[in-house]
Structure 1
């Protein structure tokens, strides 16, 4: 039985103590044109850190060049260390902790801009890159697990307080979990136990690397899909079994519960408006034509409501002892308090902090009656800005978008 906590109280996340229970969700900042830290990236995370969050999460820190969703994203390598250290020092200076989201994009990876092959459970065509991802071999899978371990070690050296292993949105580990995508007939396909081997393997590799990395300890969390939101994809029932195995494996300090697929149904996570025309404007013909003509089939609209993933997340809370992070429609004190009352240990925020990086301080300092409201309108016009410089088009605030 979980007791209700004050969202603004200190909280332990594994070996790390956060000043409160609010986490800035992992985001794609569109601020690393050369796959290295920039002043712009530092500002993106300094703003919500100064604005009161307990921890901010840097995304997307790919474990290999071919694991990026696009070629301008950071991938974890020694060349990135000086900038990453400058970033973590800046966030610590604001009194917040900082996490690195690490992972491999798998079939979501853009092989064209990465100039590196993409991997998938089976051969898979990515229409945005106009390239095929190749079927991952057993050696490829082992290499990806090793790359996750190396990325975790580098995150420790860079001064991060935590790493978040990306097991969601049909990135590589999630695509293996999906019965819709994973049509393999070997030891990594078929049964859920087989399909979960990649997710469990990368978490174990990260945990082993963290435990063997000397005296400095960091937290290990994971972002896990509860559901892909499409017929034949990951379901809550299977995801709960995977989460139970991850808990039993002992590699995680918390799980952040997410939903939706970057491949087939991204708006299942982003409730609210579907800016199809704005997305199409980022591409040249014929891709832009295709998005305009059929984009509403891909960018399906779902009505927004506060805590819109809570119903599914409560199923996980009822079965797991592991700390859980509630994501999705967290914009005000009342919803934060609801999450705490339902037994969640942390809340994660994306678009609300994109619109107002100082929202947490406003809520904490002004909101004894739950009256402070977010300026985010859930229009999702921020989503298409990830191709140039992620920002809120309503407020103009230069923060970043949860992915």
Structure 2
């Protein structure tokens, strides 16, 4: 078979993208009132004008307790007009736009949100210093309905793609991880039981939107902590989703926002900068041995999830998006040769929003991001690359 051109048009379900590059969802820090702002639009316009095929708006919560903290958008009639303004602006550039649909589960800061977080099982929250509640049957029914309602509103707002967040120890992921799911009911035990919520949500969303938009999911190649989703379980989970036929693609991520965030990012660990950006109780907690162990260091290398992702590629027929340290044109071309349909980038295009245009025109062979990860703590003040002179953040 002919290896596809990463910069050529591609189909993602019912949507045609101008190329096979995806701006991965990374929290923008530009919705302080839970509404779309000019700053949020400008953030996505930069990468859209820079050549990306699909840009992804991060952390669109399906319910108030599903936000990681209060400065995030809960999708509803109150946020619809702003979201429509955002999609219209992106479409004018020729790019497509995805909305990451999620419920943060135990990663939510209940104290910030003003409503207690829920998860597969009760656990203490290092973010809110509260106990996270175990989701009841009523909660799971309500949340599934909220995913459906959110999906319909995002279609009305003009989104082309809905990305269901099933990784990073968010609510759905907390059910998948044996160490976080200690339930004694039919939502735990076998992988099929632990995957019930994920499959239920995917089916409900697909039934609601049909082929009006593409529906994808972000899943884990490995959570990177004891008791998390392993690569073996991740592959088996992907096969269940593959068999269900509800999704147009899977984006392969990894790590846990709650237990091991650096497993996803790799490279330098900005411990001091991270601590300085956190509330005082969390800042003090990070000085303890447990807190210091939270921010681990993993060496960066190009396409660091590729080896695990190749195991998924050989196990499922669903189109796959390769994520994790993609900065070079030859890496993107290798991903196409490996059988991946799309490549997703985060830090590379945060550092250089026009990187895709520069790679396509051969003005560059690679990005210049140094993977210092100092961008991570900036999510609380407007996500940006602090290595370069920052533009004023318009909130």
Q: TM-score range by the shorter chain?
A: over 0.9
Q: Which residue of 2 aligns with 1:157?
A: 156
Tell me the distance in 2 between the aligned counterparts of 1:399 and 1:90. 20
Q: Give the one of 370, 388, 394 matched to 1:395.
A: 388
Query: Structure 2 vs 1, CA of residues 10 and 398 (structure 1 numbering), >3 Å: closer, same or farther?
Result: farther
In the TM superposition, residue 398 of structure 1 has moved relative to its aligned partner by 5.9
TM-score (norm 1): 0.95
Q: Does 1:239 align with 2:238?
A: no
- Is contact 1:163-1:219 (8 Å) kept? yes
2:301 to 290, 293, 305: 305
Match of 2:35, SS state, is coil
Q: Which residue of 2 aligns with 1:86?
A: 85
Distance in 1 between the 2:392 and 2:254 partners? 22
Query: In structure 2, how many angstroms separate the alpha carbons of the residues matched to 1:336 and 1:32?
Result: 32
Task: Please state how far the C-alpha of 1:375 moved relative to its aligned partner.
Answer: 1.6
**Matching residue within 257, 263, 287 for 2:258:** 263
Displacement, 1:399? 11
Shift of 1:282: 1.5
Q: How many Å separate the matches in 2 of 1:220 and 1:398?
A: 33
Q: Is the 8 A contact 1:355 1:397 kept in 2?
A: no
Shift of 1:366: 2.3
User: Alignment length, in residue pairs?
Assistant: 392
- Structure-1 separation of matches of 2:63 and 2:352: 32
After TM superposition, the structure 1 = structure 2 runs for residues 1-400 of structure 1, keeping only pairs within 5 Å, are 3-211=2-210, 217-294=212-289, 295-367=291-363, 371-396=364-389
- The alpha carbon displacement at 1:291 in A equals 1.2
Task: Tell me the CA shift for residue 289 of structure 1.
Answer: 2.1
Name the CA distance, whole Å, in 2 between partners of 1:293 and 1:124: 19
CA distance in 1, matches of 2:165, 2:55: 15
**Helix, strand or coil at the partner of 1:56:** strand
Whether contact under 8 Å (2:330, 2:365) holds in the other structure is no
Contact 1:35 1:75 in 2 (8 A): yes
TM superposition shift of 1:331: 0.6
Shift of 1:293: 3.6
Backbone CA RMSD of aligned residues: 1.4
Measure, in 2, the Cα distance between the counterparts of 1:319 and 1:284. 43
Range that drifts further, 15-24 or 106-115: 106-115
Q: TM-score scaled to structure 2, two decimals?
A: 0.97
Residue 301 of structure 1 aligns to a residue whose secondary structure is coil
When residues 379 and 99 of structure 1 are mapped into structure 2, their CA distance, relative to the original with a 3 A threshold, is: same
> Is the Cα–Cα contact under 8 Å of residues 226 and 239 in structure 1 kept in the other structure?
yes
Change (3 A) 1:317 1:194: same
Asked if structure 1 preserves the Cα contact closer than 8 Å seen for 2:120 and 2:183, the reply is yes
Tell me the alpha carbon deviations over residues 211-240 of structure 1, each in whole angstroms, 9 at most, x when there is no partner.
2xxxx7100000001111112211111111
Cα distance change on mapping 1:245 and 1:228 into 2, 3 Å: same
Deviations 1:152-202 (A, max 9, x none): 000100000010000000100000000010001101011111100011111
Residues 121 and 89 (structure 1 numbering): CA distance in 2 closer, same or farther, change over 3 Å? same
Q: Work out the CA distance in 1 between the residues paired with 2:221 and 2:202.
A: 17
Q: Contact (CA 8 Å) 1:16, 1:218: kept in 2 or not?
A: yes
Any gaps of 5 or more consecutive residues in structure 2? none
Unpaired runs of 5+ in structure 1? none
Aligned 8 A contact 2:222 2:254 in 1: yes
After superposing the two structures, state which structure 1 stretch, 163-172 or 235-244, moved more: 235-244
Distance 1:396 1:171, change over 3 A: farther
